[in-house]
Amino acid sequence: MTVTVNTQTILFILAILGCIALVFLIIVLKKLANLISSIDDLIVRNSTNVGLTIAKLPSIVSSVDNVVDNAKDITDVAVDVSSDVLVAKEKIKSGIKTSIDVAGIVKDVMKKK
């Protein structure tokens, strides 16, 4: 069994597929043009805001640097205070232990009398 296809039929099918592809291409190009137009409108509307934001960036960076420096200083102070608290805790602990030992000695002396 042999199937023969006429070349005019193949050319007709290719022409229809080409027309469909052309319609899709036109739709895609139209959507792309609308997207570019929207982006352009957005940039035009916000150009002053973008300019102001870019102008404020150096002061914002400076403020962030100051905050980071302050946080570093606070951290250093917190470390010093925590070490002082640990030392004070040990001194209080040893003082309480000494007081308990003295109280025990006084208690033993009072019992003997």
Residue 1, pLDDT above cutoff 80? no
What is the arithmetic mean of pLDDT over 25-31?
Answer: 97
Three-class secondary structure of residue 5 per DSSP: coil
Residue 80, pLDDT above cutoff 90? no
pTM, 2 dp? 0.42
- Non-local (6+) Cβ contacts of 50 within 8 A are 43
Radius of gyration of the chain (CA): 43
Q: How many alpha carbons fall within 13 Å on the CB side of residue 39?
A: 6
Enter the tokens of residue 98: 């000494």
Residue type, 49: N
